[in-house]
């Protein structure tokens, strides 16, 4: 149990032992470290108790395999889940410190890109809170997602040195190290009993060292583990190798270990085919699968029943080599026959698909794959051979099917096909997404194996994104309906009775105003821009990608600005357009879009003639920690992806939870958000997914018609190439102009239907403005959004994974005191 005085003493002692200083002499970072070690001390007891309970009760365990875990800061969240936040705040006050300021000292662990990585983090929070035995398995990247600096309007990537002061919430576990082998060749030996034995030889090895991070459940003493793997050279440089002529191999092994976990690939939804990425994948998967089997064997003698106690969830195709690695260990090390190993593997592995865009699909060239992972490749070849036989049996003589469905085809290993053929479950992440998978992208697979396909609409944890991120609103909600929403979000619908209550409306909007003030202050401090907290805060924060259409948003801002300049007396409710987005380092058009946003901001923000009616803000280095504050302050949530392209989206849910109103297309989970809150409490516009798909089948549409017929749009587009936002430089934004209209390039003009949706988007914005002018109407809509978000808790999502895919056993932790 938590004790304030013991805690204070522990903080003081930690500063002394860690830094040989008194609290008064310690730097803020040192205080953060000392506080965090004191918190870790409290966590450790529950961590031990949890692991002991798991040992005794032996529940089925899910291993959530993911290249990405976008955790965000741990200190505040851990304190809330431990129910110790207020006491620690008081304790620190008594010591002369402000908990918020100490929380701000924590690096923001960003071992992920965007939605997929953050989903993994929300899932871990829900698994622990619901009392399920779970491991997160990932990579301990030395450098996580880069820090973004904006210089002269351009994005600059700066390395994220999140480990430079040491990370207090991790625990190194060298006793669980595993060897991972790359390259070489496979020698086949015949055993006396006539069995074939496959031996990898002349390989390079890396030692995988696990670091464990505690995942604290809310108010239940459950502490699960996120296990991320670091790489070390297997035997420190051996001089004698020099004499044996193995000098090169020794150096290479050393280098491999150093580079393998060096950095997270900053690509989101875009496959680049880099060999190092495949090394990363096999590295953490081999170590994780070995660890899972070792743990299972400690308690169980019959490996055939592995799947009764263990399940692997593959977060997209990135961890899909787990299928072949499990087969390898079961056959080559446990001595099982193919059929036995196959039964276990196909009952253990399940796959989540997060995208339907072709450019995000992982396909490895055979050459590269078989050289790096010779034994794994053999196994995949055999899986492929048998799978093709199955296809032939089901569709005799149908070569088309084989061409479309084979795992290995055209010189490539197709990871999605491997995952679907070998797993017991394939799920999409929102209703619409799953339907598109079944009826379009994965149609052939669905027809052959319909029972594998299911939907699990994404969710988010209300504990980080309301309880921690928006404490004033969290308290208000609790004051009105009690605190059950913290672990049972659908309870939040009990706020609906307050939607028309004037006092409640005022309180709700006043909290929003306070949060807007907080964000305005942050913007002033970081951007030097003064924004009016009474203006509409219209926010789009997410990775920068063409399909997410930040370009549509900023083109519309350019249009509004033209309108105000042309009609200075027109009615206009002041608006603050807030953007936050990182672009993949090599994604030129995305980076140019950031420049455009900043260029428009420069012109508009400094034009005194418009009397501050529009402000444009690009928030530098959008990440989990500032996201929490941004959601809390938003009035309007921009969710404007081209319909059919956004698998789910999850920021849409975080905005809704915080009382922002969705301005969006009928895409991803927006569809379900509208279903929950009602169409009258959202602003929906644009092409529907079936319309987009239809256009695509017909080779697109003619944006030039729109350009020719609409002078407002034409004016905005011309401003891209007449230097309006580029100090007279007519070339700076030409690529963007070309992408929308051009017929000369190989890509289709306006692939993402920006011009097609432009006018409907502008109309939706006019409706937003009208609704906002009516204060009561807006307050009601805002309350109803918060009150209707119950479905979008990751607790619900996880419960569905448990009930319909994993079938885990629930556990209760009994503690003394």
Burial of 203 (C-beta count, 10 Å sphere; 0-12/13-18/19+): middle
Burial of 392 (C-beta count, 10 Å sphere; 0-12/13-18/19+): middle
Q: Which is nearer to ligand 26Y, 8 or 796 (CB)?
A: 796
Closest approach of ligand 26Y to the CB of residue 647, in Å: 4
Which residues, in sequence order, are CB contacts of 116 under 8 Å at separation 6+?
A: 66, 68, 268, 315, 316, 354
667-706: which residues touch ligand 26Y (CB under 6 A)? 668
Closest approach of ligand 26Y to the CB of residue 108, in Å: 18
Which residues, in sequence order, are CB contacts of 51 under 8 Å at separation 6+?
A: none
Cross-strand pairs, 313: 64, 350
Identified binder of ligand 26Y from the candidate list 10, 53, 61, 113, rule CB under 6 A: 113
Identified binder of ligand 26Y from the candidate list 103, 125, 230, 646, rule CB under 6 A: 646
Q: Which is nearer to ligand 26Y, 692 or 706 (CB)?
A: 692
Cross-strand pairs, 425: 350
Residue 115 touching ligand 26Y (CB under 6 A): yes
CB-CB contact of 792 with 583 (8 Å):
no
With CB under 6 A as the rule, give the number of residues binding ligand 26Y.
Answer: 23
Residue 270 touching ligand 26Y (CB under 6 A): yes
Residue 648 touching ligand 26Y (CB under 6 A): yes
CB-CB contact of 198 with 246 (8 Å):
no
Identified binder of ligand 26Y from the candidate list 72, 109, 114, 469, rule CB under 6 A: 114
688 is catalytic: no
Residue 14 touching ligand 26Y (CB under 6 A): no
Residue 769's SS3 state is helix
Identified binder of ligand 26Y from the candidate list 64, 69, 169, 271, rule CB under 6 A: 271
Q: Which is nearer to ligand 26Y, 83 or 361 (CB)?
A: 361
Judged by CB under 6 A, the stretch of 43-51, 176-184, 352-360, 531-539 that binds ligand 26Y is: 352-360
Closest approach of ligand 26Y to the CB of residue 548, in Å: 8
Per annotation, catalytic residue among 118, 548, 556, 791? 548
Per annotation, catalytic residue among 654, 756, 765, 796? 654
CB-CB contact of 429 with 792 (8 Å):
no
Per annotation, catalytic residue among 118, 543, 756, 765? 543
548 is catalytic: yes
Cross-strand pairs, 309: none
Identified binder of ligand 26Y from the candidate list 268, 332, 638, 676, rule CB under 6 A: 268
Per annotation, catalytic residue among 61, 461, 650, 793? 650
Which residues, in sequence order, are CB contacts of 791 under 8 Å at separation 6+?
A: 457, 459, 490, 672, 676
Indicate the residue whose CB is closest to ligand 26Y.
115
Closest approach of ligand 26Y to the CB of residue 398, in Å: 30
Residue 269 touching ligand 26Y (CB under 6 A): yes
Closest approach of ligand 26Y to the CB of residue 629, in Å: 21
458-497: which residues touch ligand 26Y (CB under 6 A)? 458
Q: Give start and end residues of each alpha helix (H) in 449-541.
A: 462, 471-481, 502-527
Q: Report the DSSP pairing between strands 349-352 and 408-409.
A: unpaired
Judged by CB under 6 A, the stretch of 19-27, 139-147, 264-272, 508-516 that binds ligand 26Y is: 264-272
Q: Which is nearer to ligand 26Y, 265 or 758 (CB)?
A: 265
Residue 119 touching ligand 26Y (CB under 6 A): yes
Residue 664 touching ligand 26Y (CB under 6 A): no
543 is catalytic: yes
Per annotation, catalytic residue among 354, 414, 463, 595? 354
What region, left, alpha or beta, does residue 355 occupy, with left being phi > 0 and alpha being psi -120 to 50 degrees? beta
CB-CB contact of 240 with 147 (8 Å):
no
Burial 603-618 (b: 16+ CB within 10 A, else e): bbbeeeebeebbbbbb
Residue 267 touching ligand 26Y (CB under 6 A): yes
Give me the residue label for tokens 């600005």.
561
545 is catalytic: no
Q: Which is nearer to ligand 26Y, 309 or 414 (CB)?
A: 414
Give me 506's structure tokens.
């005022």
Burial of 365 (C-beta count, 10 Å sphere; 0-12/13-18/19+): middle
Q: How many CB atoms lie within 10 A of CB 503?
A: 8
Cross-strand pairs, 180: 206
Closest approach of ligand 26Y to the CB of residue 714, in Å: 32
354 is catalytic: yes
Give me 803's structure tokens.
């009930």
Which residues, in sequence order, are CB contacts of 680 under 8 Å at separation 6+?
A: none
Identified binder of ligand 26Y from the candidate list 360, 610, 721, 813, rule CB under 6 A: 360
Closest approach of ligand 26Y to the CB of residue 442, in Å: 16
Q: Which is nearer to ligand 26Y, 428 or 659 (CB)?
A: 428
CB-CB contact of 693 with 668 (8 Å):
no
Closest approach of ligand 26Y to the CB of residue 452, in Å: 18
Q: Which is nearer to ligand 26Y, 67 or 102 (CB)?
A: 67
Identified binder of ligand 26Y from the candidate list 42, 116, 150, 291, rule CB under 6 A: 116
760-779: which residues touch ligand 26Y (CB under 6 A)? none
Give me 504's structure tokens.
């409640």
Q: Which is nearer to ligand 26Y, 142 or 354 (CB)?
A: 354
Cross-strand pairs, 61: 310
Closest approach of ligand 26Y to the CB of residue 454, in Å: 15
Closest approach of ligand 26Y to the CB of residue 458, in Å: 5
415-434: which residues touch ligand 26Y (CB under 6 A)? 429
Closest approach of ligand 26Y to the CB of residue 66, in Å: 10
Which residues, in sequence order, are CB contacts of 622 under 8 Å at separation 6+?
A: 148, 541, 580, 581, 582, 630
Could you write out the DSSP letters of every residue in 306-350? HHHHEEEEEESSTTTHHHHHHHHIIIIIT---HHHHHHHHHHHEE
According to DSSP, residue 162 is labeled T
Residue 357's SS3 state is coil
Q: Which is nearer to ligand 26Y, 143 or 265 (CB)?
A: 265
Cross-strand pairs, 66: none
Cross-strand pairs, 580: 541
Residue 144 touching ligand 26Y (CB under 6 A): no
Cross-strand pairs, 271: none
Identified binder of ligand 26Y from the candidate list 649, 659, 686, 790, rule CB under 6 A: 649
Q: Which is nearer to ligand 26Y, 209 or 627 (CB)?
A: 627
Per annotation, catalytic residue among 40, 456, 512, 542? 542
CA distance 157 to 285: 29
Catalytic residue set: 354, 542-543, 548, 650, 654
Binding site for ligand 26Y (CB under 6 A): 113-116, 119, 265, 267-271, 354-355, 360, 362, 429, 458, 646-650, 668
């Amino acid at each position: 149990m938590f004790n304030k005085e013991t805690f204070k003493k522990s903080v003081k002692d930690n500063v002394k032992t860690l830094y040989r200083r008194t609290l008064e002499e310690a730097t803020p970072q040192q205080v953060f470290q000392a506080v965090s070690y004191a918190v870790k001390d409290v966590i450790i007891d529950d961590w031990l108790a949890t692991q002991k309970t798991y040992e005794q009760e032996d529940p089925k365990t899910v291993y959530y395999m993911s290249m990405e875990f976008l955790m965000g800061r741990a200190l505040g969240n851990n304190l809330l889940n431990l129910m110790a936040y207020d006491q620690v705040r008081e304790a620190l006050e008594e010591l002369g410190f402000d908990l918020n300021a100490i929380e701000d000292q924590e690096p923001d662990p960003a071992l992920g890109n965007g939605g997929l990585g953050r989903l993994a983090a929300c899932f871990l929070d829900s698994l622990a809170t619901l009392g399920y035995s779970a491991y997160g398995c990932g990579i301990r990247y030395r450098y996580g997602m880069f820090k973004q600096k904006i210089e002269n309007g351009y994005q600059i990537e700066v390395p994220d040195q999140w480990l430079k002061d040491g990370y207090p919430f991790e625990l190194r576990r060298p006793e669980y190290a595993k060897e991972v082998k790359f390259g070489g060749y496979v020698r086949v030996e015949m055993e006396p009993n006539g069995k074939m034995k496959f031996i990898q030889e002349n390989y390079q090895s890396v030692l995988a060292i696990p670091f464990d991070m505690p995942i604290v459940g809310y108010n239940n003493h459950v502490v699960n583990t996120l296990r991320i793997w670091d790489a070390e050279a297997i035997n420190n440089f051996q001089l004698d190798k020099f004499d044996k002529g193995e000098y090169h191999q020794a150096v290479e092994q050393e280098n491999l270990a150093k580079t393998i976990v060096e950095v997270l690939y900053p690509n989101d939804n875009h496959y680049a085919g880099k060999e190092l990425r495949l090394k990363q994948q096999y590295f953490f998967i081999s170590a994780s699968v070995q660890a899972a089997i070792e743990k299972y064997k400690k308690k169980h003698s019959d490996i055939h029943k592995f799947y009764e106690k263990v399940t692997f969830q593959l977060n997209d195709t990135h961890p899909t080599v787990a299928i072949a690695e499990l087969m390898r260990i079961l056959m080559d090390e446990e001595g099982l026959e193919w059929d036995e190993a196959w039964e276990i593997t196909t009952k253990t592995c399940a796959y989540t698909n997060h995208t339907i865009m072709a450019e995000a699909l992982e396909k490895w060239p055979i050459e590269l794959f078989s050289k790096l992972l010779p034994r794994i490749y053999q196994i995949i070849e055999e899986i492929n051979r048998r799978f093709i036989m199955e296809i032939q049996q089901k569709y005799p003589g149908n070569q088309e099917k084989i061409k479309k469905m084979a795992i290995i085809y055209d010189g490539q290993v197709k990871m999605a096909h491997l995952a679907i053929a070998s797993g017991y479950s394939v799920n999409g992440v929102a209703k619409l997404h799953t339907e598109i998978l079944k009826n379009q992208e994965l149609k052939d697979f669905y027809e052959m194996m319909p029972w594998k396909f299911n939907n699990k609409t994404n969710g988010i944890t209300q504990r980080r994104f309301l309880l921690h991120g928006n404490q004033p609103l969290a308290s208000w909600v609790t004051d009105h309906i009690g605190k059950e929403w913290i672990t049972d979000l659908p309870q939040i619908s009990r706020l609906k009775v307050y939607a028309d209550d004037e006092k409640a409306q005022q309180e709700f909007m006043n909290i929003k105003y306070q949060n807007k003030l907080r964000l305005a202050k942050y913007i002033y401090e970081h951007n030097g821009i003064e924004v009016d907290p009474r203006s509409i805060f219209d926010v789009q924060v997410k990775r920068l990608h063409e399909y997410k259409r930040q370009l549509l948003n900023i083109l519309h801002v350019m249009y509004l600005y033209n309108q105000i300049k042309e009609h200075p007396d027109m009615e206009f409710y002041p608006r603050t357009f807030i953007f936050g987005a990182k672009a993949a380092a090599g994604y030129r058009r995305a980076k140019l879009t950031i420049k455009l946003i900043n260029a428009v901001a420069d012109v508009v923000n400094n034009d005194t003639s418009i009397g501050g009616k529009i402000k444009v803000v690009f928030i530098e280095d959008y990440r989990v920690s500032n996201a929490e504050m941004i959601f809390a302050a938003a009035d309007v949530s921009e969710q404007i992806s081209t319909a059919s392209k956004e698998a789910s989206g999850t920021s849409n849910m975080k905005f809704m939870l915080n009382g922002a109103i969705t301005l969006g297309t009928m895409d991803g989970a927006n569809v379900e958000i509208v279903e929950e809150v009602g169409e009258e409490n959202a602003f929906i516009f644009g092409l529907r997914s079936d319309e987009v798909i239809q256009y695509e089948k017909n080779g697109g549409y003619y944006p030039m018609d729109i350009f020719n017929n609409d002078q407002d749009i034409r004016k905005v587009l011309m401003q891209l190439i007449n230097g309006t936002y580029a100090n007279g430089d007519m070339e700076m934004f030409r690529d963007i102009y070309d992408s929308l209209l051009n017929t000369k390039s190989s890509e289709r003009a306006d692939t993402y239907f920006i011009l097609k949706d432009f006018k409907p988007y502008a109309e939706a914005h006019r409706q937003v403005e009208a609704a906002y002018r009516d204060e009561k109407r807006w307050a009601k809509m805002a309350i109803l959004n918060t009150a209707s978000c119950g479905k979008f808790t990751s607790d619900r999502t996880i419960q569905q994974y448990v009930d319909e895919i994993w079938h885990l056993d629930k556990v209760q932790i009994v503690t003394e005191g």
